[in-house]
Amino acid sequence: MFRTLFITIVGFVSLVFAGDPPHGMTEPAAPTPIWYAGESHIQNVRQLTFGGENAEAYFSMDGKWLVYQATRDSFQCDQIFTMNIETGESKLVSTGSGATTCSFFVPGTDELVFCSTHQHGASCPQKPDRSLGYVWGLFEFDVYKCKTDGSELVKLTNAPGYDAEAAVSPDGKEVIFTSGRDGDLELYKMNIDGSNPTRLTHTIGYDGGPFFSPDGQHIIYRAFHPKTAEEFAKWNQLWAEQAVSPVRLELWIMDTDGNNQRQITNLNSASFCPYVHPNGEWVMFTTNYADSLGNKRMPNFDLFRIRPDGSDLERLTYGPTFDGFPMWSYDGTKLVWASNRGASKAFGETNIFIADWVE
């Protein structure tokens, strides 16, 4: 379903809502709300997709287009699409084979990057062994670049194993991504043509889901670094199975050369998909920190924001299920995100929404 490992989206929501609705709940007879009381920073909410699994939508620099991943039509796992925001017209960009994730426009060009398993097999990757707990599989993803119509496809990574979770710098010159090429999940940066891959993080554990800040000065990301003997043992077990558990993630930020790595959140929750506002004063992200449902089959993920120094934590969405994968437009006037709100067919239906951002 969604980004990063994300397959990330393939993660939290599709697993949680697989099968029948939670006990005592039925499929909605009418669409659920698309705006909830308390959501003072978002106005004029508009639903852009209707049914299925749609997520990780990211703006073009001019704010007219989105690139996103979705399981739809005859596809059995996520593919990459572009959407004209004004008309709602979507077009397939990826090959239609394998699984895809983590797409992003290359600013200043008619290109985009995305991650795919298609050269390692046409079928969807096999789901990981759930006896290991709630885990994501580290499949054979590679990073690709193509024109926005899907033509001129070029493979940017060639290391064996997992290369995914890619995003592009605001000047269009560099790609940040997560890789297991050196025996651990670390962040790497490379030129837009795939040259000069450089490792930026060196702490045992998971560093992933990165984005550049809009001013190009920082990289924001999520991380889990084991600290206890038990956590290290679990990490090593999962690595041997090429899997990772995302149940506890904190947000970090660093300079684009990898220096000055510092932790932003300390919520002891699953916090991910951070994105920096164009003015640099806020980081928006997804987290289950405010989950009050007490129902593990239906966790409540919301959008929050926080200062880059870790102060002024603020909740932004108040829907009862999933809100995640946010991005502000490059001018800061719009917000796009994925949500279970607006469901009209089944619980767990995830769609893309856009709204005006109000400070």
Domains of the chain, with CATH numbers? Answer: 12-357 (2.120.10.30)
Joined tokens for residue 234? 């679990």
Predicted local distance difference test score (pLDDT) of residue 23: 33
Q: What is the mean pLDDT of the chain?
A: 89
Question: CA-CA distance, 260 to 262, in Å (whole number)?
Answer: 6
Per residue in 222-247, pLDDT (tens digit) is 999 999 999 999 999 999 999 999 88
- The CA-CA-CA angle for residues 17, 69, 112, to 5°, reads 160
**Residue 253, pLDDT score:** 98
Residue 134: band (very low, low, confident or very high) from pLDDT cuts 50, 70, 90: confident
Query: What local confidence, expressed as pLDDT, does residue 100 receive?
Result: 97
Q: What are 305-317's pLDDT values in tens digits? A: 999 999 999 999 9
Least confident interval from 20-29, 80-89, 246-255, 272-281: 20-29
Any idea what the Cα angle at residue 336 is, between residues 333 and 337, rounded to 5°? 145
**149 pLDDT above the threshold of 70:** yes
The Cα 269–Cα 23 span in angstroms is 25
In the predicted structure, residue 6 carries a pLDDT above the cut 60: no
Confidence at residue 30, expressed as pLDDT on a 0 to 100 scale: 65
Amino acid at 60: S
How many angstroms separate the CA atoms of 356 and 209, rounded?
25
Give the pLDDT band of residue 347 (cuts 50, 70, 90): low
Q: 296-306, pLDDT tens digit by residue? A: 445 689 999 99
For 45-71, how does the pLDDT look when each residue is reduced to its tens digit (9 = 90+)? Answer: 999 999 889 999 999 999 999 999 999
Q: Which residues of 235-255 are buried (b: 16+ CB within 10 A; e: fewer)?
A: beebbeebbbbbeebbbbbbe
The residue-averaged pLDDT of 169-198 equals 98
Q: Is 311 helix (H, G, I), strand (E, B) or coil?
A: coil
pLDDT, position 298: 53
